[in-house]
Structure 1
Amino acid sequence: MGFLSIFKSTFLLWVLILSSCGNKMTSHKNTEDPILVEQHTPLTDSLIMAANRTQEYLPLLKNKKVAVVGNQTSVIFKKEGHIHLVDSLLSLQIDVKKVFAPEHGFRGEADAGEAVKDGLDTKTGLPLISLYGKNKKPSDEQLQGLDVVLFDIQDVGVRFYTYIATLQLVMEACAKNNIPLIILDRPNPNASYVDGPTMEAKQTSFLGMTTIPLVYGMTIGEYAQMLNGEAWLDSKLKADIIVIPLKNYTHNTEYHLPIRPSPNLPNDKSINLYPSLGLFEGTNVNAGRGTESQFQRYGASFLKPSAYTFNYVPKPNFGSKSPKEEGKTCYGKDLSNTPKLQRVSLAWLIDAYKNTTDKNTFFLTDSFTKHSGTEKLQQQIEAGLTEQDIKKTWQADLDTFRKIRIKYLLYN
């Protein structure tokens, strides 16, 4: 109620301020400042990002000390391209005090699993506080003096993609310190289905903090509501959240991410295959890291050459300084022309296991268990179960989750 009162009391004043000084904030000839009005993304006719809906959240930031949780995807789309959310807020005299950076860093340049260091943003001079490394949750000291936290990160809807873990820990920290959290929603490119093994509670890690399926079919804003509503935050805390929703969006809306959400997800195909090929992260098989086709191929030097017509050699590159099987000829499959999936596929994982020359070293057991969320999947593959038989064991948990999920959906 306090937040709503602030909104009502400041909205009129904010509108007057924008009206009087809006023309001074931009050099564009257009009479409407493209930062201040809702703009369609360059790749759709009607979809509007929450970050573009500035009139919905700027009044909540006026005269507040603000922290932003964001990365390279935290942008406002304009007719001429885009502007980073932090740059936009600073240009509007919003008092941004610091930025919290998730895995891959604020500018999205760190490798997967690479520690992100604290420092200063070279462009804005703002303090950067890493939420990936030893410190994954904002501390009480780091939140001290803040009035509100703004969260804006592009997710891809896969449980082991760590941005939803960052969201959960930020929600817990804000709840503990009685700081409101505003979440700017973005599309989930894998929102049209729910599939995969459901994580067991005993497998909780940064690769999965709640007992949800591998693919959960929700935007990050919807998922935040679920975390609150199901009392899944630590000590059953409840965060004071406001979700700024997308406009003209459904879970079936086609959306092409114009900015890589992380270094090794370069395009739509990699994002679509990521729920399936991401399971290779828990094996010794290379899933395209060290090539320009990350998560669009798989292979290894220890897979039988006679079983494959495709091979490649991983080399260090952007986002992968030391890829698996570096410098070795990897035998496997090119999946770059695979039709779009609406499910998790185990076919390629099972294929690779059947064709490995050393089944004892194929799985990195602890890592694979954390990625899949269960010990059962490795055991099922090793026992020779078919994909169909394995998927039958998921269904009861998936049905239970779908019933929970529907309560928190903001979009059809």
Structure 2
Amino acid sequence: MAVRTGAERLTGEPGLVVDGRLGLITNFTGVLPDLRPTSVALLDAGMHLTALFGPEHGLRGTAQAGASESEGVDPDTGLPVFDTYLRQGRALDDLFSGMDALLFDIQDIGTRFYTYVWTMYDCQQAAARLGKPFIVLDRPNPLGGVRVEGPLLQPGFESFVGRAPIPLRHGLTVGELALQLGEATVVAMEGWTRSSVETGLPWVPPSPNMPTPDTALVYPGTGLFEGTNLSEGRGTTRPFETIGAPYLDDRFVPALQACELPGVIFRRTWFEPVFSKYAGQAVSGVQLHVVDRSAYEPVRTALVMLRVLNELYPDDFSLLPSLDRLWGSDSLRKALEAGDDPLELLPAATTPAGWAKPGVLLYEGTAG
């Protein structure tokens, strides 16, 4: 049975949400199973959409990381398009002042430092200040809803890659996260359980460097390499599955293989990024090949990779200030600088029920 998203349900049952002037926070991932934009389908269903609001990368997804598109008019609907990226507080309040309610329909990938959930959070906070309903059209977590990995974000390390204390791999859907983070109404999915991986839904790459479900699976771990002087594979066809730097040699892959990490094997590779770190330079590196999705632990795998790099290349390997924001505290940076084993930072394995507030989990399955 294919999963029915919140957006698909709402197009068939417009009465599920309040009537009035509706603003839709969405992008190119906000589509129905036939790939019609949610905005078009809601208008066809007779709903009173009056404006669209885009996140990082823009409504159409042409902008790279750290950028968004210019505002204008959406040619599919004729609606005005406004940019929410990096807007907070009064700037968002003013943007939403003409709406009676806000809808959110964007595909997340289950990792704390992926920014779409923080766009949701900022808009949700604005809706609360304005006294307007905030409605999430729920979508699957492509990593499933069973496993949680990594620590909670610590106070003092809030940023646009983490505004609230949730785990690095959080195990919730966007609707469940909205309930965890504040007040919201969720149009829940049908047919999705916590152990769901195959959904029957088309994969729309949620950002320019998230091309496949394989990328999403490794991202909770290898996304941390953005906080190092290694290329995380941006500017290649396999971002986040391919990691490298000019100084890596033939010792790196054998050292990783000797660690016998579950569910993954490593292949030495060479690449030349077309943008971002080491653009135009020949880079030696490694490609992660996940051979057992159920056994693979992306965060543990990345911490072992960082430990091995620290041991093999002490004069070349370095950390960037952004690592603290990605990890959610300075503990990983300090452990690596001290030569300690970063695996000691991992909390005990848990499930979403082990950290989320009571009443947040909307779907059945192995929740702990």
* TM-score > 0.5 by shorter chain: yes
User: CA shift at 1:55, angstroms?
Assistant: 6.1
Name the CA distance, whole Å, in 1 between partners of 2:58 and 2:25: 11
> Are residues 339 and 138 of structure 1, via their aligned partners in 2, closer, same or farther at CA, if it must alter by over 3 Å?
farther
Query: Which of 316, 334, 347 lines up with 2:304 in the alignment?
Result: 347
Q: 1:61 to 1:200 in 2, by over 3 A?
A: closer
Correspondent of 2:36 among 83, 95, 100: 83
Whole-angstrom CA distance in 1 between matches of 2:90 and 2:229: 30
The percentage of counterpart residues that share the same residue type is 32
Contact 2:353 2:361 in 1 (8 A): no
User: Structure 1 pair 67/400, CA: closer, same or farther in 2 (3 Å)?
Assistant: closer
Question: Is the 8 Å Cα contact of residues 304 and 343 (structure 2) preserved in structure 1?
Answer: no
Query: 1-side partners of 2:225 and 2:41: how far apart?
Result: 39
What's the counterpart of residue 256 of structure 2?
none
1:379 paired residue number: 334
Q: Do the aligned residues in 2 keep the contact of 1:61 with 1:148 (CA within 8 Å)?
A: no
CA distance 1:400–1:152, shift in 2 (3 Å): closer
Shift of 1:330: 1.4
Q: How does 1:153-164 map to 2 (within 5 A)?
A: 153-164=106-117
SS in 1 for 2:299: coil
Shift of 1:405: 4.1
Q: Deviations over 1:20-76 (max 9, x none)?
A: xxxxxxxxxxxxxxxxxxxxxxxxx24221111126751256751111000111111
> In terms of mean alpha carbon deviation, does 117-126 or 94-103 score higher?
117-126
Q: Which residue identity does 1:409 align to in structure 2?
A: L
CA contact (8 A) 1:159 1:214 kept: yes
When residues 83 and 390 of structure 1 are mapped into structure 2, their CA distance, relative to the original with a 3 A threshold, is: same
| Aligned pair partner of 2:181 in 222, 227, 230 | 227
SS at match of 1:374: coil
The separation in 1 between residues aligned to 2:120 and 2:306, in whole angstroms, is 30
- Output the amino acid matched with 2:66: G
Q: Deviations over 1:352-403 (max 9, x none)?
A: 33333634x6110x20000001101111123233354332xx349x699824
Q: Give the drift of 1:220.
A: 0.8
Counterpart amino acid of residue 228 in structure 2? T
The 1:328–1:381 alpha-carbon spacing in structure 2 relative to 1, beyond 3 Å, is same
Structure 1 pair 283/86, CA: closer, same or farther in 2 (3 Å)? same
Aligned to 1:208: 162
Query: So what's the TM-score if we normalise by structure 2?
Result: 0.86
1:102: how far off? 0.8
- Determine which structure has the larger helix proportion and give its number: 1
Structure 1 unaligned blocks of 5 or more: 1-44, 229-238, 317-321
Within 5 Å, which residues of 2 pair with 1:141-152? 141-152=94-105
1:295 to 2:229 alignment: no
Separation in 1, partners of 2:134, 2:32: 19
Aligned partner of 1:329 in structure 2 is 282
Partner of 1:250: 193
SS in 1 for 2:95: helix
Distance 1:87 1:248 in 2: 24
Distance (Å, rounded) in 2 between the aligned partners of 1:192 and 1:225: 18
Q: In structure 2, which of residues 9, 14, 18 is the aligned counterpart of residue 58 of structure 1?
A: 14
Q: 1:74 aligns with which of 22, 30, 35?
A: 30
Deviation at 1:176, TM superposition (A): 0.9
CA offset at residue 132 of structure 1?
1.2
Distance (whole Å) between structure 1 residues aligned to residue 78 and residue 44 of structure 2: 14
Q: Give the deviation of 1:342 after TM superposition.
A: 4.3
- Greater C-alpha Rg: 1
2:345 to 383, 390, 408: 390
Q: What is the distance in 2 between the residues matched to 1:379 and 1:62?
A: 49
- Which of 251, 269, 272 is residue 314 of structure 1 equivalent to? 272
CA deviations on 1:131-166 (whole Å, 9 max, x unpaired) are 114568862322122111111111111111111111
Gaps of 5+ in 2: 254-266
Indicate the residue corresponding to 1:276 in structure 2: 221
Report the number of matched residues: 344
Once the two structures are overlaid, the 10-residue window that deviates more, 303-312 or 323-332, is 303-312
The secondary structure found in structure 1 opposite 2:36 is strand
C-alpha deviation, 1:196, in angstroms? 0.6
- Residue 231 of structure 1 aligns with which residue? none
Which residue does the alignment assign to 2:133?
180
Deviations, residues 256-280 of structure 1 (Å, cap 9, x unaligned): 6511111111112111100010000
With over 3 angstroms needed to count, the CA separation of the structure-2 counterparts of 1:334 and 1:220, relative to structure 1, is same
For residues 153 and 201 of structure 1, what CA distance do their matches in structure 2 show?
27
Q: Secondary structure at the match of 2:52?
A: strand
Which structure exhibits the higher relative contact order, with contacts defined as CA atoms closer than 8 Å and separated by 6 or more residues? 2
Deviation at 1:177, TM superposition (A): 0.9
RMSD: 2.5
SS at match of 1:97: strand
Give me the whole-angstrom Cα distance separating, in 1, the residues matched to 2:290 and 2:185.
40
Task: Tell me how far 1:337 sits from its aligned partner.
Answer: 4.3
Distance of aligned partners of 1:162 and 1:122 in 2 relative to their CA distance in 1, 3 Å threshold:
same
Q: TM-score, normalising length from structure 1?
A: 0.77
